Amino acid sequence: MANQTTVNYGDGRFQPVIDKCEGCGRIVEQESVKYCKSYLYPGSKWKLGFCNFATHAKPEINVIKVRINPLKAAKRASKRK
C-alpha cells in the first residue's frame, strides 16, 4: 500500500485562489475556501498574464505572415549549397 499524506490547505502555506482561477480543474475546496493543489501562491502565477497550470484556459497563439522578397530568398538559398 502506498504511503499517503494528507495536505492541510488551511495551515497558512497555501493562498486562496483568485478570480482568474475559477473553473480550473486543479482547485480544491477545504472549509469553504478554494485552494490550488498545484501551486502555493496562485495569484503570482497570473502576474505575467497567464498561469501555466490552468486547465480551463489555453494561451492564444498568433500566427504572423511574413512577406519575403523572392529575390533575396533565392540569393540566400543559392549561398547555402
Comparison of pLDDT for 61 and 1, the residue scoring more = 61
C-alpha cell, 42: 496562485
Phi, psi of 27 (to 5 degrees): -80, 135
Phi, psi of 13 (to 5 degrees): -75, -40
- 62 — pLDDT class (breaks 50, 70, 90): confident
Q: Do 35 and 12 meet the contact criterion of CB atoms below 8 Å apart?
A: no
As a whole number of angstroms, the distance between CA 16 and CA 18 comes to 7
- 4 — pLDDT class (breaks 50, 70, 90): low
DSSP 70: H
7-60 pLDDT, tens digit each: 777 777 888 999 988 899 989 988 888 999 888 888 888 888 888 888 888 777
Q: Give strand pairing partners of 36.
A: 27
